[in-house]
Amino acid sequence: MNTPLSKENNFQYNGAYIGQYGGQFVPQILMPALQQLEKAFEDSLLDADFQQQLNQLLSQYAGRPTPLTECSSFAKTDKVRVFLKREDLLHGGAHKTNQVLAQALLAKRMGKKRIIAETGAGQHGVATALACALLGLDATIYMGAKDIERQAPNVFRMKLMGAKVVAVDNGSGSLKDAINEALRDWAASYDSTHYLLGTAAGPHPFPKMVKTFQKVIGEEAKQQILEQVGQLPDAVIACVGGGSNAIGIFADFINDKDVRLIGVEPAGHGLDSDAHGATLLKGSEGIIHGARTQTLQTTEGQIVESHSVSAGLDYPAVGPEHVHLMKTGRAEYVGITDQEALDAFQELSRTEGIIPALESSHALAYAKKMAITAQRSMNIIVNLSGRGDKDLAHVMELIKHKAVN
Amino acid sequence: MRYQQLFEVKRDNNQLAYIPFVLLGDPTADLSLAIIDKLVESGADGLELGFAFSDPVADGPVIQQASLRPLANQFSVKDGFNEIAAIRAKYPNLPLGLLTYANLVFAQGINEFYKQASQAGLDSVLIADCPVQERALFSGSADNHSIESVFIAPPDANDETLQLIAQNSQGYTYVLSRKGITGTEVAANQASSDFIRKLRDYGSAPLVQGFGISEPEHVYQAAEVGVDGIITGSAIVKLINQHYNKPQDMFDAIGHYAQTMANAAHQAHDKRKEGLINVDSRNNQATAVGYGTAS
């Protein structure tokens, strides 16, 4: 199945595709919007003013660079050192802010005054709301009706910052349906509206664009680990829902073939149960949300609901570049269950005084597993993609019900 | 070939073709077949049939709601092809098109899907989320099994895209009345004559207009600008949504509505000639003099 790592440009986009994945499988009506966005995005990469404006926002507003923190005891053994890339310290509380600021600037550049976005846990919605408040854009956030109930504090945050939150009742009432609804809005409104997609999935140019605007995570981490230990890490670990924080920290290491890239999918109740969100490990190839990628589906091709304790990983598809990285063997993908993630959530809080997001807790749990079985010395970077404040009520409830120790 | 024959006959008779859309297996397999009979009996010149999909991004609330019924009944792609084969057996000359989403084609194996489509007797397949730019993934298999690939021409596509669509859409070209998604919430606009002329100049297959067409007025506007046929989707599906628990009411409502729209399509040019319709293109308003409209 796996094609060998032959050409150096194996990991470059070829038009709308990376390998055979990606593309633009959208209704014809949306093609002009995607073409306009692609052009604006490619132009912005060459525009020094745009880059300077973005860098200024990232450093003076969002708080880049974020630190790389070595764990004092979490997952530490005499062989293993674990370093956390602290995206939890970014303004907004998660890595989402990086690319949202960039896309919001792009929207202004295209003369669009209205932003629509989807959100699951609310993190992308919050990031979108803050960027729109800052840049004077009108924000409408589509959110599954079920998620609105589960994530009340984030809904309030969005509203506080002036965004309009629209409940999506149709379908399963969760993230995938919010994406569908945003696409439907966009099909009628793209003249005046930018769809600010929140992850490295969807039709081209979103996967490439989100990767480009998130790769700052890996670039900083690489420089920081070189400063702190004088060599490249042995492994880089990140959780994968749609895959934006993972591709962001992987991107700058893809050509460093000795660095293992490990994506951690939500195994929910277990990879062999029917309640997980492990699209890469347990899904199959398909076409969803504008891209040829991997998805959770029936043999008939109907998309099924995913499950994860963490709303941000609860998505039945994944960015196309991760499929390519998996099929070429460049990255490995593994699963971590709800329970393992909850354990890591509590352990990092206890040992480091850092409360991680439940999403990031999946990556932490895998780092711990690796450390325990390590046969030789190694340095591991974990992308701590977000902070856990948003998860407190949820985890409290789970602990009360003795789902966790 | 069936499309070509249909549009030749329609042109000779100075009529627009009327092509209603319904979902296969909606509200049930049996009732769905009875609805098809009703549509044909009421003057439908061809049918656009849909597979229900879990994530119909091109569809508005009416078709989204309807899609839940075949999905809940576990009405499969195989069931759908069986239904199409039954319709074909009954109506050997009726043009039959399928409207589906890319993942349903992909999941069967693309070649296998088109093979089944051909065996069932379909004439065309339109994939709602496959723009003409991505046709390569499907078009080879479609051609191998003699299935015509239909593409959608949106009102604001640039010339390059319109040319691509005109060159590649087979059987007919689906002309969009407006932006957005399917549904009757936002009415059709009259297509610009410039847009229609360009598609003709680029050698397009016959033009069939859809999205937001729900009343005879919309049909007269379409006739005015010179398309060859019209599609109504959500308007009929809405009647199924309203009446599916009372089949007789449902058949009556669908029959009455389809007849009204078929008459509008078949008589639009004559009525225009007789001065019975005034189309004010500046306001996109058409009024029929002395002509009853559906609901």
* Among B117, B124, B56, residue whose Cα is nearest residue B84: B117
| Other Cβ atoms closer than 10 A to B81 | 21
Query: pLDDT in tens for each of the 405 residues of chain A?
Result: 344 444 445 789 999 999 999 999 999 999 999 999 999 999 999 999 999 999 999 999 999 999 999 999 999 999 999 999 999 999 999 999 999 999 999 999 999 999 999 998 899 999 999 999 999 999 999 999 888 887 888 999 999 999 999 999 887 778 899 999 999 999 999 999 999 999 999 999 999 999 999 999 999 999 999 999 999 999 999 999 999 999 999 999 999 999 999 999 999 999 999 999 999 999 999 999 999 999 999 999 999 999 999 989 999 999 999 999 999 999 999 999 999 999 999 999 999 999 999 999 999 999 999 999 999 999 999 999 999 999 999 999 998 876 544
Q: Which residues in A lie closer than 8 A to residue B156 (C-beta atoms)?
A: 32
What's residue B191's pLDDT?
77
What's residue B278's pLDDT?
62
A59 touches chain B (CB under 8 A): no
Which domains, from first to last, does chain B contain?
Answer: 2-288 (3.20.20.70)
In angstroms, rounded to a whole number, what is the distance separating the alpha carbons of residues B10 and B45?
A: 9
pLDDT of B290 above 70 = no
Q: A 282-301 residues with CB below 8 A of B?
A: 285-290, 292, 295, 297-301
A168 CA: distance to closest CA in chain B (Å): 11
A318 CA: distance to closest CA in chain B (Å): 15
A27 touches chain B (CB under 8 A): yes
What's residue A121's pLDDT?
81
What's residue A401's pLDDT?
74
The DSSP annotation for B213-232 comes to --SHHHHHHHHHHT-SEEEE
User: Number of A:B CB contacts under 8 A?
Assistant: 113
pLDDT of B288 above 80 = no
Q: Which pair of structure tokens corresponds to residue B49?
A: 């049939």
Q: A 136-175 residues with CB below 8 A of B?
A: 170-171
Tell me the average pLDDT across B94-121. 98
In the β-sheet with B47-50, what is the strand arrangement from edge to edge? B148-149, B124-127, B96-100, B47-50, B17-23, B229-232, B207-210, B173-176, B152-153
Q: What is the distance of C-alpha B225 from the center of its chain?
A: 18
What's residue B279's pLDDT?
58
The DSSP annotation for B241-286 comes to HHHTTSHHHHHHHHHHHHHHHHHHHHHHHHHHHTT-EEEETTTTEE
In angstroms, rounded to a whole number, what is the distance separating the alpha carbons of residues B129 and A187?
A: 12
What's residue B185's pLDDT?
78
State whether A25 and B102 contact (CB < 8 Å).
yes
- Residue type at A261? L
Convert the pLDDT of each residue in B267-287 to its tens digit: 999 988 777 766 554 444 444
State whether A170 and B161 contact (CB < 8 Å).
no
A356 CA: distance to closest CA in chain B (Å): 33
A310, A121 in Cβ contact below 8 A? Answer: yes
What's residue B174's pLDDT?
97
Q: Which residues in B lie closer than 8 A to residue A302 (C-beta atoms)?
A: 53-54, 71, 104
What's residue B186's pLDDT?
82
A307, A282 in Cβ contact below 8 A? Answer: no
B168 CA: distance to closest CA in chain A (Å): 13
Beta strands in A56-103 (DSSP E): 68-70, 80-86
Give, for A164, the enclosing helix (H) or strand (E).
Answer: strand A164-168
Convert the pLDDT of each residue in A376-386 to its tens digit: 999 999 999 99
Q: Residue B157: what are its φ and ψ, rounded to 5°?
A: -65, 145
Q: Which residues in A lie closer than 8 A to residue B57 (C-beta atoms)?
A: 26-27, 180, 183-184, 289
Tell me whether strands A290-295 and B152-153 are parallel, antiparallel or unpaired. Answer: unpaired
Sign of CA dihedral A359, A360, A363, A365: negative
B53 CA: distance to closest CA in chain A (Å): 6
State whether B104 and A301 contact (CB < 8 Å).
yes
* Chain A residue with the nearest C-alpha to that of B133: A24
What's residue B277's pLDDT?
67
What's residue B188's pLDDT?
78
As a whole number of Å, the end-to-end CA separation of chain A is: 41
* Chain B residue with the nearest C-alpha to that of A183: B57
State whether B153 and A171 contact (CB < 8 Å).
no
Q: Which residues in B lie closer than 8 A to residue A171 (C-beta atoms)?
A: 54-55, 64
A382, A283 in Cβ contact below 8 A? Answer: no
Q: Which residues in A lie closer than 8 A to residue B53 (C-beta atoms)?
A: 301-302
State whether B106 and A303 contact (CB < 8 Å).
no
- Give me the residue label for tokens 């003709």: B200
In angstroms, rounded to a whole number, what is the distance separating the alpha carbons of residues A331 and A325?
A: 5
